[in-house]
Structure 1
Amino acid sequence: MKRVFLLVALTLAATFSFAQGKADTKASLQLVRNATLILDYAGQKILVDPMISPKGAFQSFAGIERNPTVDLKMPVNEITKGLDLVMVTHSHPDHFDEAASTILDKSVQLINQPADSEFFKKEGFINAETLDYSRKWNNVRIHRIDAQHGTGEVLKMMGKTSGFVLKAKNQPTIYIVGDAIWTDEIKKTIKKYKPDYIIVNSGGAVVPGYENTPILMDEDQTMALIGESGKAKVIAVHMNALDHCRTTRDSLRQKAESLNIGVDKLIIPQDGEVVKL
């Protein structure tokens, strides 16, 4: 009988140790392309905003060339295998494309914003969940944050977008801003959640005919965010992949260097690059 109790105790201890080890796993972020990210977070594989079409698969946004303007640096099955969760900030094709809808398992757990609830039902995702405010998922607290995808008439055209804040024990707090311009609401979100990392879409995109009304943060707005980022490191993405994005990795780095902002504060990953968090 003592042997039985000992065996049970050892089994429970091993299970607890494994669970703890999973929770304590070091987090990482991999930029796939544009705003498509793979997060290794609290032992879970999370895919954010999958645009996984080949180069030139869909229409131009600015009349310059078809999108995406660059190929993926990794096989699609490497991106989609073993997923625990898909998070979609909004359903524009550069954040959730036809290829993602076709290739992803329709039973994958997916979190979307309220404005896209019907979209994912029509696409047939049976485990799509609309997140209004906040929920706990596999020991990860996920908060949805409203984002502002432009101003005035352009904002009406672009529609609703969101960001997400992720928090978990023994993990860095991550704020995925989503498609947004710099606003006081983002500043308030940073002060409220005190993220360790802020992922910002810095492509400086514009809509033809409204070239003076950005729909994403550009160099200047990204610098304004950095000025209010507190302890957070800023990771800039959504560049060098779409024809309506005017801000490039080079122009953003040049702007940062002119203000003495170094790589210890602003990280600008290349496609396929993994950033340890």
Structure 2
Amino acid sequence: MKIQLIRNATMKIEYGGKTFLTDPMLSPKGAIRSFAGIAENPTVDLPMSVDEVLQGVDAVIVSHNHPDHLDEPALASLDKTLPVFCQPCDDSFLVEKGFERVFPINSKHTWEGIDFHRTGGRHGQGEIGKLMGEVSGFVLQASGEPTLYWAGDSNWCHEVKEAIKKFSPDVIITHSGGAALPGHDPIIMTGEQTMALVQAASDAKVVAVHMESLDHCTVTREGLRKMGDEASIPGSRLIIPKDGETVNL
């Protein structure tokens, strides 16, 4: 299995002989409105061309349809015949955008020998969580592959804890940028919450993404690595890739 971080939550994951593109945000730097009043988004450019991002992709997984996870350039650029896996509430949106093979996952779906399990999450707590709407994570399982859990845009919460307990993942991808809208608590994992997950899932490798590309994210790679060092968690267990970097697992 290989995970290439493109930017934010956009990744190319090689798993079970297929290449999945996750949460494609393909906009150039500054093309999306500011979320925190600091800068327009994304705050950094893609590390490669859009053509390179799309090269070799067999299917797409969309955790939810917020613009930093599925944007207009992605909708315009993606091959509409690619399989797209999503949460049920995003099914009609994707069909309306022209995708011909949309697979909403209620709980489990099997495709090309790969099992997809949809998991829950909380995109913030209380009123802000209700405002942000439904989000999902996904667990991938296949013969000869480690179990992969992509937690998605979620805080460290009951649903994430239950997914770890149920699936005992070998690899967990977290959104660890501590994104927060003005006047509200964080809507994805903070550094402290990421560390709590790392310590709770003591047998898993954690790959932390969704950092340093949006103006409402507060956690930096350097800051998260420092927290890991202070907790004696090595870089082999808490992996913090740079944009464009490929992690071999």
TM-score class normalised by the smaller sequence: over 0.9
Superposed, 1:35-46 pairs within 5 Å as 35-46=9-20
The aligned counterpart of 2:207 is: 235
More moved, 122-131 vs 161-170 = 122-131
The aligned counterpart of 2:126 is: 152
One-letter code aligned to 2:158: D
Larger Rg: 1
Matches of 2:17 and 2:103, distance apart in 1: 21
1:219 aligns with 2:191: yes
The aligned counterpart of 1:22 is: none
Where 1:119 maps in the other structure, the secondary structure is helix
Matches of 1:120 and 1:206, distance apart in 2: 27
How many residues are aligned here? 249
Where 1:161 maps in the other structure, the secondary structure is coil
C-alpha displacement of 1:168: 0.4
Superposed, 1:170-249 pairs within 5 Å as 170-210=144-184, 213-249=185-221
C-alpha displacement of 1:33: 0.3
One-letter code aligned to 2:236: D
The aligned counterpart of 1:256 is: 228
One-letter code aligned to 1:163: G
The structure that is helix-richer by fraction is 1
Matches of 1:148 and 1:115, distance apart in 2: 15
| TM-score with structure 2 setting the length | 0.98
C-alpha displacement of 1:239: 0.1
Matches of 2:55 and 2:236, distance apart in 1: 32
Matches of 1:106 and 1:197, distance apart in 2: 30
Preserved contact between residue 32 and residue 271 of structure 1 (Cα < 8 Å)? yes
Matches of 2:27 and 2:102, distance apart in 1: 21
Preserved contact between residue 119 and residue 159 of structure 2 (Cα < 8 Å)? no
C-alpha displacement of 1:257: 1.1
Matches of 2:206 and 2:39, distance apart in 1: 29
One-letter code aligned to 1:231: D
One-letter code aligned to 2:96: K
Identity %: 49
One-letter code aligned to 1:199: I
> 1:59-109 CA deviation, whole Å, 9 max, x = no partner?
000011100000011111111123211000000011111111000011111
Preserved contact between residue 235 and residue 268 of structure 1 (Cα < 8 Å)? yes
The aligned counterpart of 1:266 is: 238
Poorly superposed stretches of 4+, deviation over 4 Å: none
One-letter code aligned to 1:221: Q
One-letter code aligned to 2:195: M
Matches of 2:160 and 2:23, distance apart in 1: 20
Q: CA RMSD in A?
A: 0.8
Where 1:142 maps in the other structure, the secondary structure is strand
Matches of 1:235 and 1:152, distance apart in 2: 27
Preserved contact between residue 194 and residue 230 of structure 1 (Cα < 8 Å)? no
Preserved contact between residue 111 and residue 129 of structure 1 (Cα < 8 Å)? yes
C-alpha displacement of 1:121: 1.7
2:21 to 19, 44, 47: 47
Q: Any unmatched runs of 5+ in structure 1?
A: 1-26
Matches of 2:25 and 2:151, distance apart in 1: 17
